[in-house]
Amino acid sequence: MEARLATGLWVSAWLHRLDLEGRAGYVLRRGDATAGAVLVKAATLDGRAALWSRQWDFETDTRPWTRIAEGPEAEIDATARRQTATDPDLWLLEVEARDGDPQLME
């Protein structure tokens, strides 16, 4: 069984890392601080965005970050709203990333 860091602690570390790099990161929706799942929206500031989530990979028995959607920012926002509407524990984060890299940490 893989040891997991509490979600709230991971979010704080991720935001701090972005701040150290001079990048803007935001918590759009707070989920469960202990075990909530995380969605990360990477806005490229040109009207487009991507949505990232950790998904279980049964072949490697790991939970890598996976881009689950990409396209116009309005469509990504709608996808994120649908997912957060069904899961009260889900976190929604956003990073401004012209290069599209959300700087996610394992």
Beta-carbon contacts of 35 under 8 Å, excluding residues fewer than 6 positions away, are 4, 6, 7, 89
CATH annotation of 27-96: 3.40.1530.20
pLDDT at 106 (0 to 100): 66
pLDDT at 46 (0 to 100): 97
pLDDT at 2 (0 to 100): 60
- Specify the pTM: 0.90
Domain ranges within the chain, ordered by starting residue: 27-96
Name the E strands within the chain: 25-29, 38-43, 48-54, 65-72, 91-96
pLDDT at 59 (0 to 100): 85
Tens-binned pLDDT, residue by residue, of the chain (106 aa): 466 789 999 999 999 999 999 999 999 999 999 989 999 999 999 999 999 999 877 888 788 899 999 999 999 999 999 999 999 999 999 999 999 889 887 6
